[in-house]
């Protein structure tokens, strides 16, 4: 059971790292512009295309679900 908890912790850390990398690439592309390089530009273009392809309200709905989940987790005793 301890190994599963450790794998889950590592997995969530990897997911958070990937998400932060995507957000950093998008922000660098916005701030610096076309001089950011091919990797940063391609990640930013892919992330932007993905968000534009989603139906309206999906991003807002997912954010609302995340906020509700965070509030629920904060109220649970540890």
pTM for the model stands at 0.71
User: How many folded domains does the chain comprise?
Assistant: 1
Rounded to whole angstroms, how far apart are CA atoms 41 and 26?
Answer: 8
Residue 11, domain extent: 2-75
Angular region, 68: left φ>0, alpha ψ -120 to 50, beta rest: alpha
What is the structure's pLDDT at 37? 85
Provide the residue-wise pLDDT of the chain in tens; the chain has 78 residues: 889 999 999 999 999 999 999 999 999 999 998 788 889 999 999 998 998 898 988 988 999 999 999 998 888 776
Please enumerate, as own/partner, the contacts of 16-22 that have beta carbons within 8 Å and a separation of 24 or more: 22/47
């Amino acid at each position: 059971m301890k190994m599963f908890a450790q794998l889950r912790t590592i997995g969530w850390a990897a997911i958070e790292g990937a998400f932060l990398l995507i957000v950093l690439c998008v922000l660098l592309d916005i701030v610096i512009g076309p001089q950011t390089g091919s990797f940063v530009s391609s990640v930013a273009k892919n992330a932007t295309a993905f968000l534009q392809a989603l139906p309206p309200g999906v991003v807002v709905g997912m954010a609302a679900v995340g906020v509700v989940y965070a509030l629920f987790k904060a109220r649970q005793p540890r």
